[in-house]
C-alpha cells in the first residue's frame, strides 16, 4: 500500500527520492545556520566578558594634583575600576595583577611601596569606601559635603587600612556608590567630600 501511495503521489520513485533529498538538504542547511549563529553569539559573549574584566595596574602616581587613592572597592565593578585606572586623571596606589589567584606578594607588597612613595611626595591619601552597599555597610563617616554615610570596605581594603593604621599613616575617607566612573572626578573633588581618618576596624 505504501508503494502505491508513493507512486500515485510522485509518479515514480525518482521524483520521490528527489523531493526527499531536497527536504533533507534544506533541514541540514537550517541546522548549520543555527549552529553558526549560536557559535557567533557565544564568541561575542566571551569577548564582552574579557573586555569587562578589571584592568591590571601597578599603580599610578604621576597625575596632576596631590591626592592619591590608596584603597578602592572592587565591589563597585569593572566600569568604576577601569575608569579610575584608564582615566589618567587620578593618582592611585592600588595594584591589581589581573589574576584572582595571584599571591599577596604580587599586589600587597607593591601597594605598600606605592603608599610609601605617595607619603614621601606629600600626597593626601584617600581610602575609597563603597557607600550604600546592597548587602553590608560596616563603617560610617561624615562627609563635609554629604553628611553621614555608611559604607563598605572589602577584605583587601581592610588589610590596607590596617597597615596604614599600624604605621601611623594619615589618610582621608571618601565614600560613593555606583555613580563613580573614574574619569568624572579629580583628586581635589574627592578630597573636598572626604572626612579625616583613621577608620576604626
- Which neighbouring-strand residues pair with 141? 149
138 and 89 together in one domain:
yes
Whether residue 126 has pLDDT greater than 70: yes
Predicted confidence at residue 151, as pLDDT, reads 95
39 and 72 together in one domain:
no
105 and 147 together in one domain:
yes
H-only helix segments in 102-201: 104-120, 155-167, 187-192
Specify if 116 maps to a domain. yes
193: nearest Cα among 124, 138, 111 = 124
**Which DSSP helix (H) or strand (E) runs through 196?**
strand 195-196
Specify if 201 maps to a domain. no
47 and 114 together in one domain:
no
Specify if 60 maps to a domain. no
C-alpha cell of residue 139: 563603617
Whether residue 175 has pLDDT greater than 60: yes
In the block, cell 572589602 appears at: 154
The structural domain count of the chain equals 2
131 and 187 together in one domain:
yes
Q: Does 181 or 73 have the greater pLDDT score?
A: 73
Specify if 168 maps to a domain. yes
In the block, cell 534544506 appears at: 26
43 and 108 together in one domain:
no
- Which of the four pLDDT bands, split at 50, 70 and 90, describes residue 41? very low
Beta-strand runs (E) in 80-161: 91-92, 124-131, 139-143, 147-152
79 and 126 together in one domain:
yes
Specify if 56 maps to a domain. no
74: nearest Cα among 49, 95, 46 = 95
Whether residue 44 has pLDDT greater than 80: no
Specify if 59 maps to a domain. no
Q: Where in the sequence is the domain holding 190, given as residue range(s)?
A: 67-196
Whether residue 1 has pLDDT greater than 50: no
Whether residue 66 has pLDDT greater than 80: yes
Q: Does 178 or 30 have the greater pLDDT score?
A: 178
- C-beta of residue 56 within 8 angstroms of C-beta of residue 97: yes
134 and 188 together in one domain:
yes
- C-beta of residue 68 within 8 angstroms of C-beta of residue 128: no
Amino acid at each position: 500500500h505504501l508503494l502505491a501511495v508513493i507512486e500515485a503521489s510522485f509518479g515514480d520513485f525518482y521524483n520521490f527520492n528527489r523531493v526527499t533529498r531536497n527536504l533533507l538538504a534544506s533541514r541540514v542547511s537550517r541546522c548549520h545556520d543555527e549552529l553558526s549563529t549560536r557559535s557567533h553569539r557565544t564568541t561575542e559573549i566571551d569577548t564582552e566578558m574579557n573586555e569587562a574584566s578589571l584592568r591590571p595596574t601597578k599603580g599610578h602616581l604621576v597625575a596632576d594634583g596631590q591626592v592619591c587613592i590608596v584603597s578602592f572597592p572592587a565591589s563597585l565593578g569593572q566600569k568604576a575600576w577601569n575608569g579610575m585606572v584608564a582615566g589618567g586623571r587620578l593618582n592611585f596606589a592600588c595594584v591589581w595583577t589581573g589574576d584572582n589567584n595571584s599571591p599577596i606578594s604580587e599586589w600587597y607588597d607593591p601597594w605598600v611601596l606605592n603608599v610609601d612613595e605617595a607619603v614621601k611626595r606629600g600626597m593626601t591619601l584617600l581610602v575609597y569606601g563603597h557607600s550604600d552597599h546592597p548587602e553590608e555597610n560596616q563603617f560610617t563617616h561624615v562627609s563635609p559635603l554629604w553628611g553621614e554615610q555608611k559604607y563598605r570596605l572589602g577584605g583587601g581594603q581592610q588589610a590596607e587600612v590596617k597597615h596604614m593604621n599600624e604605621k601611623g599613616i594619615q589618610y582621608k575617607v571618601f565614600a560613593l556608590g555606583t555613580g563613580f566612573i573614574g574619569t568624572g572626578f579629580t583628586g581635589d573633588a574627592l578630597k573636598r567630600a572626604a572626612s579625616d581618618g583613621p577608620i576604626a576596624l
